[in-house]
Amino acid sequence: MRIELTNLYGLNVYTDRGVRVGQVNDVTIDVNERKVSGIAIGDVNDDLFDIGGGKGIVIPHRWVVAVGDIVIVRHMSMRVEEEAAA
Amino acid sequence: MSVVYTRGLYGKNVVATDGTEVGELVNILADMRTGELISIVVKPDISFDTGGYEMDDGFILIPFRAVKAAKDVITVDKSQIGYPSEDIASIEV
């Protein structure tokens, strides 16, 4: 699954149970580890996350199940730890 | 940990550790299954001699292991820019 990171921006993100999470705003990478570390998601489904005044959330890469025309992430229980996206 | 947001990186200068200007960052290739960063795609600077480098459609592909830092500029270790021939098979996913 080799992909250009610019192709990810704007993709819709759903959980593996079909619940919309949001839209990919940005991708974070760890330069030293040479890994994608997370996916910053904006336009967040507020039924799933209460992000308060934040712009979005960052989902760790290990939650990502598949990337194609959309991004599928593992279904998460409500109100996991929130991170404000830059 | 040196976690960076990628969206701000495009268009930044890519500079070799010996001071050579390589070009401008255009894209980053990753294997989204493993999360591994494979290479960076660089639009070569007019002054940069691209001979001997892996090219794709006019852009240089630099293996990500050559990337030392990505902040205001992206620095790459020139000794690791080229793909050693035995590595080419292993980076194909």
Which residues in A lie closer than 8 A to residue B2 (C-beta atoms)? 30-32
Instruction: Give the whole-number percent of chain A exceeding pLDDT 90.
Output: 69
Which residues in B lie closer than 8 A to residue A42 (C-beta atoms)? none
Looking at residue A85, what is its pLDDT? 42
pLDDT tens, residue by residue, B40-92: 999 999 998 888 888 888 999 999 999 999 999 999 998 877 655 445 555 55
Tokens at A24, concatenated: 């990919």
pLDDT tens, residue by residue, B1-51: 589 999 999 999 999 998 899 999 999 999 999 999 999 999 999 998 888
Query: A6 and B36 in contact by Cβ < 8 A?
Result: no
Which residues in A lie closer than 8 A to residue B31 (C-beta atoms)? 1-3
Q: Nearest-CA distance from B61 to chain A in Å?
A: 12
How many angstroms separate the CA atoms of B45 and B24, rounded?
A: 7
Torsion, Cα of B32, B59, A24, A36 (10° steps): 40
How many angstroms separate the CA atoms of A11 and A42, rounded?
A: 11
Global pTM?
Answer: 0.84
Looking at residue A76, what is its pLDDT? 72
Of A1, A27, A61, the CB nearest to B6: A27
Per the structure, the complete domain to which residue A50 belongs is given by: 5-85
Query: A5 and B4 in contact by Cβ < 8 A?
Result: no
CB atoms within 10 A of CB B37: 23
Which residues in B lie closer than 8 A to residue A40 (C-beta atoms)? 5
How many angstroms separate the CA atoms of B12 and B74, rounded?
A: 7
Nearest chain B Cα to A6, which residue?
B27
> What domain count does chain A have?
1
Section A33-55 average pLDDT? 89
Query: B32 and A1 in contact by Cβ < 8 A?
Result: yes
**Residue A83: pLDDT band by 50, 70, 90 thresholds?**
very low
Comparing CA positions, the residue from B64, B83, B17 lying closest to residue A36 is B64
Q: Which helix (H) or strand (E) holds A67?
A: strand A64-67
Domain containing A13 — which CATH number?
A: 2.30.30.240
CA dist list (Å): A10 to A14, A22, B81: 13, 9, 31
Q: What secondary structure does DSSP assign to A4-48, as a single string?
A: EGGGTTT-EEEETTS-EEEEEEEEEEETTTTEEEEEEEES--TTT
So what's the ipTM on this one?
0.82
